Structure 1
Amino acid sequence: MDSQVLQYTAEIRMVDEYDIVVFGGGPTGCTAAIQAGREGARVALVEKNGMLGGTTTVASVNFPGLFHTRLGRQIIRGIGWEMIEETEARGGARLQDFSIPYEPKQHPKHHIWLNRFIYATVLDDFCLAAGVQLRLHEMPVDIRIDKESGKHIVVLAGKSGLSAVRAGKLIDATGDANVAGMMGYATEQEEHVQPGTLIYHMTGYELGQVDKAELRRLAGEALAAGTLLGTDFCNPREEPPFWRELEGAGGNRNHIAGIDGSTSEGKTQAELKGRAALLRAYKFLRTVPGCENLEIDYVASECGIRETKRVVGERRISGLQYKTGFRWPDAVCYSYYPIDIHQHDNNSIDIRPLEDGIVASVPYGALIPQGSDHLLTAGRCISGDSEAHSAYRVQASSMATGQAAGAAAALAVRQGISVREVDIGELREMLVKHGAIVPD
């Protein structure tokens, strides 16, 4: 069919007006919205799902990190940490002793397990307490400037159709730079992005009856026949396929490769490929002695996405600057996660921890798309190269950039200025007032 352009006119009702609209209700967007709301801004939080938490809840990556260095120094606190502490207070988190050092590349020891439901209720309550209006089950479809007010008109698609809201400042916390792209700001994307992962849990098998040699033999046959792919499981050389998944109480370590989670079409392919990979694993494992009664008792509702698009920002974080702890003059938060590159064509991971004493910083300019006066970004779509992105994309760092974006937007609204004109000293003071740790 030839490409066609459908032109139509629709009356879209203006339903509300806000100082700030935040897009994306994950840890990044929630932290941004709460920070701006606590500073008195009228804030809306637009989220496509019916539950807040994003990757933590709907993709079941419910083990955020890193808030502390390997040697126990806390480098991320603020609103994101408040949410962790409240989740623990409600019985939904396990905080370990962060003063106990771990060996390099053993950083998951400092990840924090969260109960997804309890965490989601904390996000609900924190947002509502800050006066944030939650707009769940909605997505932006168009953003334009209102010539009369100079503000943005945001057209939202929801279950009842299209509606519009007016806003002064916007924050893109979608993780995929969707809003930045919609507004025409430059973005970048690697030819081969990191693969996604579909979280699942297995039960019903007898590990003591699984023979490693037989598991290796059967997996070899399945791989040769094409009924199993090498990205469907973790495959350390010293162990047979799926052994770590079975031994690890039914957890998973798959790679869903060749996907672009920044578009609806790409995300659809991610979901289809993820479920197909899990079905291959399920069918294979039930042929293994000891796993005949294996069941999949949980699967996340979404495939977790690691990498898509990043904005081209006023500043751009390089892998070298991240690894050497370069101190940006406009630094607003720290990040400590190691370089963590999941390979696109196999199931291996390139992990390069920061050296002891090195802590990376994130500049405010990386949150600002080039030339932007009214839009900020936060989370994994801030400006940086692919190497730096592999580290700062994680939840703890995203919470920190989310809080910085929320504070900056609140200051810009209050003072009637561009987001590029926000005074770094005032921004840091506001962040510290709300418990954040900012670089000296």
Structure 2
Amino acid sequence: MEPTENQNRLSALFSLNRRKFIQSTIAGAGAAALPILASDAEAASKTADEFKEPARNVPIKGEFDVVVCGAGPAGVSAAITAARAGAKTQLIEVHGCLGGVWTAGLLTYIFDFDKPGLTKEIKAKLDERNARRNKIADQFVYHPDEMKVLLEEMCIEAGVKFRLLTRVSSAYKDKKQLTTIVTDSKSGREAWKAKVFIDATGDGDVGAQAGNSWEIGHGGDTCPCQPLTLNTLAVVRDPAALKQFISFYTNDGDKKNWHVPAVEAFKKEIARAGITPSYGMPTLFLIRDNLVMIMVNHEYNIKAFDADEITEATVQARAEVYNIVRGLNKLGGPWEGMQIVATPEQIGIRDGRRIHGRYTVTKQDLVVGARHEDAVVRPTFGVDIHAADRKTNEVETIGRGGIKMIPYDIPLRALIAKDVDGLMMAGRCISGDFVAHASYRVTGNAVAMGEAAGAVASIAAKTNKLPNEVAWSDAAQLLTKLGMRA
């Protein structure tokens, strides 16, 4: 139906009045609360290859003792610890659940989980929920949705305020001290103030935005880096019929036979389907009942902070996983009826930014088994360097950095930013080199680092000190009081 002349006049009048209204309001106090017309915004751009965003006021969502950015294993642990210590704590997470790689990434297992504190507590509570099938000392596999619900309950019980589906987009300092972060979400752009911030984003997003120096890969700002992996959940008809292909299906017999023989057998089955997986050690884990996790994929030389590269990697990875499952189905027998039930919200990233701190954990620390008076955790997980490209993967899928690792200490100083005051790190984005990172990056260590950061941050906030001014002995005493250390 063609518009009438009156309709055209009304439309033109409405457009004119609307533009005048917005322009007059922008000139007044309400500028931050209203959208800017595209034509008005584009007028601010002076060059063809960049856009100058008009200045606007951003509402302050709140002021806190501690703001934790990233709700993965390190972030939830930091937030719970800080809140239990009495700090007013806000946790901000980009995904639609707490847990990070544990949940949104469908990791479904915990390495280096022989730690006291929250790791022990989480394990016990997951067992109460029957969230895993096998209770083997060397292996902890869990149901990711049970983990989601548990972490939400623990944060609520501790008094942690948390916001999902919210991304940190910028950070602002007063002189050298970080005072404010800005986020984007369905609620628009918001500012959050705190006395202490903890970067638990995994990729060091906050540290980089705040202007702290950092590195990735073997140093500098470019790859080669460790590859990305898209873990996948699937159901099978009868896990017992696949037990020879499932790592840690049983703890009978020699411990060395619990994992590698299953990997080799699974790899042969994939080859029998006419497929060579991009990961040289394809693995099946049984979570519970007939639910399994499949890890068969590697995406090489992807920068953790390049959205285009991550998008391409995710699409390629999902296609590969589906292709492998279809191929296994065609083999029939115990593979018949295998179905993918979920791919992750976030492809798994091993190697992102490492924010420079007041100490850098190095390969040499692992060689000598370094000890520190301000040790926050002692990793026991060996160096685990996944091949940086597919050709290397065919020769050496997992490298050990040319060393034999001796359990070593990570000092508090590696969790405190070097260039920005009021900023701490926890998890894989702490200060370390490529080889050391390949050991401490696993999630059991991330939890312990989160606890330490949360304890120090709470003390710093309540005593109006910077994190580097807090004695580790005071934080250790607090963790003992909270039941997180012996």
**Does TM-score exceed 0.5, indicating one fold?**
yes
Q: 1:239-272: CA deviations, max 9, x gaps?
A: xxx9999xx9673332122212234333323322
Whether the 8 Å contact between 2:236 and 2:338 is mirrored in structure 1 is yes
Question: The residue matched to 2:410 in structure 1 has which SS?
Answer: strand
2:420 aligned to which of 372, 397, 419? 372
Are residue 140 (structure 1) and residue 168 (structure 2) matched? yes
Q: Residue 192 of structure 1 corresponds to which residue in structure 2?
A: 224
C-alpha separation in 1, matches of 2:473 and 2:266: 62
C-alpha separation in 2, matches of 1:155 and 1:117: 29
Are residue 396 (structure 1) and residue 444 (structure 2) matched? yes
Q: Which structure: larger Rg?
A: 2
1:84 deviates by 2.0
Question: The residue matched to 1:430 in structure 2 has which SS?
Answer: helix
Q: Residue 196 of structure 2 corresponds to which residue in structure 1?
A: 169
C-alpha separation in 2, matches of 1:431 and 1:257: 39
1:381 aligned to which of 429, 434, 437? 429
C-alpha separation in 2, matches of 1:410 and 1:386: 30
Whether the 8 Å contact between 2:67 and 2:196 is mirrored in structure 1 is yes
C-alpha separation in 1, matches of 2:322 and 2:133: 32
Q: Residue 253 of structure 1 corresponds to which residue in structure 2?
A: 296
Change (3 A) 1:158 1:360: same
1:162 deviates by 1.0
Q: Residue 351 of structure 2 corresponds to which residue in structure 1?
A: 307
Question: The residue matched to 2:65 in structure 1 has which SS?
Answer: strand
Whether the 8 Å contact between 2:85 and 2:458 is mirrored in structure 1 is yes
C-alpha separation in 1, matches of 2:133 and 2:273: 38
C-alpha separation in 2, matches of 1:97 and 1:296: 26
User: What is the TM-score with the length of structure 2 in the denominator?
Assistant: 0.74
C-alpha separation in 2, matches of 1:212 and 1:386: 28
Q: 1:282-332: CA deviations, max 9, x gaps?
A: 454455465676533332232111111101111011122124321023212
Q: Residue 130 of structure 1 corresponds to which residue in structure 2?
A: 158
Q: Residue 421 of structure 1 corresponds to which residue in structure 2?
A: 469
Are residue 12 (structure 1) and residue 58 (structure 2) matched? yes
Question: The residue matched to 2:105 in structure 1 has which SS?
Answer: coil
Whether the 8 Å contact between 2:199 and 2:207 is mirrored in structure 1 is yes
Q: Residue 225 of structure 1 corresponds to which residue in structure 2?
A: none
Q: Which amino acid aligns with 1:349?
A: I
C-alpha separation in 1, matches of 2:279 and 2:331: 16
Whether the 8 Å contact between 2:284 and 2:295 is mirrored in structure 1 is no
Give the alignment of 1:74-223 within 5 angstroms.
Answer: 76-93=115-132, 96=135, 98=137, 110-145=138-173, 152-190=179-217, 191-202=223-234, 216=271, 219=274
- Compute the RMSD of aligned alpha carbons: 3.2
Q: Which amino acid aligns with 1:142?
A: S
Whether the 8 Å contact between 1:66 and 1:111 is mirrored in structure 2 is no
C-alpha separation in 1, matches of 2:184 and 2:153: 25
Q: Which amino acid aligns with 2:232?
A: Y
Whether the 8 Å contact between 2:74 and 2:427 is mirrored in structure 1 is yes
Q: Residue 484 of structure 2 corresponds to which residue in structure 1?
A: 436
Whether the 8 Å contact between 2:211 and 2:419 is mirrored in structure 1 is no
Q: Residue 113 of structure 2 corresponds to which residue in structure 1?
A: 67
Are residue 319 (structure 1) and residue 397 (structure 2) matched? no
User: What is the TM-score with the length of structure 1 in the denominator?
Assistant: 0.82
Change (3 A) 1:404 1:59: same
C-alpha separation in 2, matches of 1:261 and 1:327: 31
Whether the 8 Å contact between 2:236 and 2:292 is mirrored in structure 1 is no
Change (3 A) 1:46 1:295: same
Change (3 A) 1:367 1:159: same
Unaligned stretches of 5+ in structure 2?
1-46, 218-222, 243-264
Change (3 A) 1:361 1:388: same
Question: The residue matched to 1:167 in structure 2 has which SS?
Answer: strand
Are residue 266 (structure 1) and residue 309 (structure 2) matched? yes
Whether the 8 Å contact between 1:171 and 1:376 is mirrored in structure 2 is yes
Whether the 8 Å contact between 1:13 and 1:164 is mirrored in structure 2 is yes
The percent identity for this pair of structures is 29
Q: Which amino acid aligns with 2:301?
A: G
Q: Residue 329 of structure 1 corresponds to which residue in structure 2?
A: 373
C-alpha separation in 2, matches of 1:415 and 1:211: 55
Unaligned stretches of 5+ in structure 1?
69-75, 99-109, 220-227, 236-241
Q: 1:378-418: CA deviations, max 9, x gaps?
A: 00011111111111001100000000000111111111111
1:432 deviates by 2.2
Change (3 A) 1:2 1:279: farther
Whether the 8 Å contact between 1:259 and 1:266 is mirrored in structure 2 is yes
C-alpha separation in 2, matches of 1:313 and 1:419: 12
Whether the 8 Å contact between 2:216 and 2:354 is mirrored in structure 1 is yes
1:350 aligned to which of 399, 417, 442? 399
Q: Which amino acid aligns with 1:77?
A: P
Whether the 8 Å contact between 2:235 and 2:341 is mirrored in structure 1 is yes
Whether the 8 Å contact between 1:232 and 1:281 is mirrored in structure 2 is no
1:370 deviates by 0.9
Whether the 8 Å contact between 1:18 and 1:42 is mirrored in structure 2 is yes
C-alpha separation in 2, matches of 1:20 and 1:296: 40
C-alpha separation in 1, matches of 2:381 and 2:267: 34
Question: The residue matched to 1:262 in structure 2 has which SS?
Answer: coil
Q: Which amino acid aligns with 1:182?
A: Q
Q: Which amino acid aligns with 1:37?
A: A
Whether the 8 Å contact between 1:234 and 1:254 is mirrored in structure 2 is no
Q: Which amino acid aligns with 2:389?
A: D
Q: 1:309-362: CA deviations, max 9, x gaps?
A: 101111011122124321023212221111111112234112589979x42211
C-alpha separation in 2, matches of 1:308 and 1:216: 32
1:59 deviates by 1.2
197-206 or 315-324, which moves further after superposition? 197-206
C-alpha separation in 1, matches of 2:329 and 2:155: 44
